[in-house]
């Protein structure tokens, strides 16, 4: 009984820590975004550069930021960016949208992806129309 009580307490104490790591670390995500920053912008003054701005990317239809000339492949992708779709795209862009113009070898590390997505989520409430 004592071991069961200790096990339950350990689960209660560790659950928030485990959930936080699954959600990603925003500061580590900011560092991971350095790989993206040469082409993409985020924040209140973000605009398209070599790639589209990424404010509010989750929930946006692929290929629709109004200030970026997307490839036909991205315009015709026909999906809305979810975290799962972004995760897959960031791992292998050509597998998710064949023929897209993004030249990126991908991020294979799951924790880096979690961190990057946590960072991008901090820009969900910023106006994405410029």
| Euclidean distance between CA atoms 100 and 106, whole angstroms | 13
What pLDDT is recorded for position 105? 83
- Give the confidence band of 1 by pLDDT, cuts at 50, 70, 90: low
pTM for the model: 0.77
* 17's tokens: 């820590």
Q: How far apart are CA 128 and CA 37, in angstroms?
A: 17
Q: Which domains does the chain have, with CATH numbers?
A: 25-121 (1.10.760.10)
Q: Which long-range contacts (CB under 8 A, 24 or more apart) does 86-93 make?
A: 86/57, 86/58, 86/117, 86/120, 87/113, 87/117, 90/116
What pLDDT shows up at residue 112? 95
Taking only the tens place, the pLDDT of each residue in 44-92 is 999 999 999 999 999 999 999 989 999 999 999 999 999 999 999 999 9
Distance from CA of residue 70 to its chain's centroid?
A: 19
């Amino acid at each position: 009984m004592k071991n069961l009580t200790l096990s339950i307490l350990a689960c209660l104490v560790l659950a928030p820590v485990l959930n936080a790591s699954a959600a990603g670390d925003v500061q580590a995500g900011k560092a991971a975004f350095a790989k993206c920053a040469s082409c993409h912008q985020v924040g209140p003054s973000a605009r398209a550069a070599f790639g589209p701005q990424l404010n509010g990317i989750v929930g946006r239809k692929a290929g629709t930021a109004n200030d970026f000339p997307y490839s036909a492949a991205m315009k015709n992708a026909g999906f809305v960016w979810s975290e799962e779709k972004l995760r897959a795209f960031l791992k292998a862009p050509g597998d998710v949208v064949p023929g897209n113009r993004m030249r990126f070898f991908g991020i294979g590390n799951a924790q880096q992806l979690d961190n990057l997505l946590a960072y991008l989520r901090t820009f969900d409430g910023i106006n994405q129309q410029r």
